[in-house]
Amino acid sequence: MSDFSEELIRSKTEDDQEESCVFSGTGMSFPWLQKYIGTVATGGKKEKDFAQTTNACLSFIQEALLKHRWQKAAEFMHSYFQILEDSDSHKRQAAPEISLQHALYLLHHGMLEDANRNLSHAETWRYGEKSSSQEVLINLIQAYKGLLQYYTWSKKKMELSTLDEDDYAYNTASQNMLNHSWKTSVNLCALIQTPGVWDPFVKSYVEMLEFYGDQDGAREVLTNYAYDEKFPSNPNAHIYLYNFLKREKAPREKLISVLKILYQIVPSHKLMLEFHRLLRKSEKEDHHKLGLEVLFGVLDFAGCTKNITAWKYLGKYLRQTLVGNHLAWVQEEWNSRKNWWPSFHFSSFWAKSDWKEDKALACEKALVAGILLGKGCRYFRFISKQDDQVLRKKIKRIKKSVKKHSIVNPGL
């Protein structure tokens, strides 16, 4: 280890003893980048001295940035690159990581021009052959440049919307937008073809493709992002594809097929109520059955227990399903829940709490409770006994529905 490296690490150790610095949520820290310093940069071979030195320097830079000690941060940045220049060819490849981290910090604080310069510097860093990991990192750096270009493009798009199409300024602004979109596309394209979760980059790219009328290109990008098995499972990929197809007024069957996958990943997503509506309108009986399953699935989650729309849909659909002679569908869903839904949703405590907080919600839940548990259900009994002038007629209708549709034998 060089004298400079030993001094740097020793200095950090002494500093730690004098002051305990806690990295809080007020700044930015990217530990996933640090692992590249000791491994990727050396082709997967950890070299302890080099890793210790660069990690120590990186920590100094982070601490200085978080404390707004800009001069100190600049000094340590200079030291970091000096270490890289003094090292062999493998180690020099680590330079883009710190530039990217610094750029992300600048982006977070709205210093866009400085961030762009930093990204350009990182993008052009070349020394020797790049590993596959280095190639991904360069693609990521270029993609962040693309996001900055997209930001400029978005501003120009807003300016364009205020101009008259016959105005000379409109043509100039339109050409500027086209130039920026081309640059952005080049920078984003390589990254989004690499397996990973690239939501903001994909959304930006697709927005531009749609703006210029390339619906086929946008559809291809979103379809690959959602269905390519090399990419990790990502709910947002299916949400983006669904919203795009919805804008295109795609057939109901196509929309159902996309939301069916989202349902398997996130059964409590807010789009599940929309999924239920699509299934309910379908002509297929298996879709009608799935529509009931989806509503029960949504209300299995604690975060959805106050969703009045879900309860309203379930009460209405339970009656519709039972009138359609599909008692077996209801029993199938209820049998797996009858041991825990009563205390989870329909206890005396929840009846009193719901009535106090939201009477409309309490009425919708009371109908479902009565259908599934009968007139003896504590929740139903409490709500049905309330004498509320505004809701008196509604409660009367609930009682009639429970008497007519409850799946519980009236004698029990």
Contact 365, 392 (CB under 8 A): no
* Longest Cα separation, the chain: 89
Q: Is the pLDDT of residue 33 over 60?
A: no
E strand or H helix at 76: helix 70-85
Write down the residue that tokens 């604080």 correspond to. 109
3-class DSSP state for residue 172?
helix
The residue among 350 and 76 whose pLDDT is bigger is 350
CA 66 to CA 387: how far, in whole Å? 60
Contact 156, 121 (CB under 8 A): no
Q: Is the pLDDT of residue 387 over 80?
A: yes
The residue among 180 and 285 whose pLDDT is bigger is 285
Q: Is the pLDDT of residue 36 over 60?
A: no
CA 6 to CA 66: how far, in whole Å? 24
CA 193 to CA 245: how far, in whole Å? 21
Residue ranges per structural domain of the chain: 92-194
CA 381 to CA 374: how far, in whole Å? 10
Question: What is the mean pLDDT of the segment spanning 295-316?
Answer: 97
pLDDT of residue 16: 41
Torsion of CA 264, 267, 270, 271, to 10 degrees: 30
CA 13 to CA 2: how far, in whole Å? 17
Q: Give residue 190's pLDDT band: very low, low, confident or very high (50, 70, 90).
A: confident
Any residues with CB less than 8 A from the CB of 211 and at least 6 apart, and which? 157, 181
Nearest Cα to Cα of residue 107 among 58, 140, 69, 72: 140
Mean of all residue pLDDT scores within the chain: 79
Nearest Cα to Cα of residue 88 among 35, 39, 41: 41
pLDDT of residue 309: 98
Report if pTM > 0.85. Answer: no
First to last CA, the chain: 82
Q: Which of 22-36, 64-78, 283-297 has the highest mean pLDDT?
A: 283-297
Query: pLDDT digit string (tens) for 194-235?
Result: 889 999 999 989 998 998 889 999 999 999 999 999 999 999
Min mean pLDDT across 8-12, 74-78, 91-95, 290-294 is at 8-12
pLDDT > 70 fraction of the chain, expressed in percent and rounded: 67
Q: Report CA-CA distances (Å) from 74 to 99, 233, 313.
A: 12, 40, 60
Write down the residue that tokens 């002494």 correspond to. 14
Q: Is the pLDDT of residue 68 over 80?
A: no
Neighbours of 281 (CB within 10 A): 12
pLDDT of residue 47: 47
The residue among 104 and 22 whose pLDDT is bigger is 104
Q: Give residue 139's pLDDT band: very low, low, confident or very high (50, 70, 90).
A: confident
Contact 362, 351 (CB under 8 A): yes
Burial of 298 (0-12, 13-18, 19+ CB in 10 A): buried
Classify residue 396 as left (phi > 0), alpha (psi -120 to 50) or beta.
alpha
Query: pLDDT digit string (tens) for 165-179?
Result: 666 666 666 666 666
Min mean pLDDT across 28-42, 187-201, 290-304 is at 28-42
Query: Which tokens in the block code for residue 133?
Result: 């990991």
pLDDT of residue 117: 76
Question: What is the mean pLDDT of the segment spanning 285-298?
Answer: 98
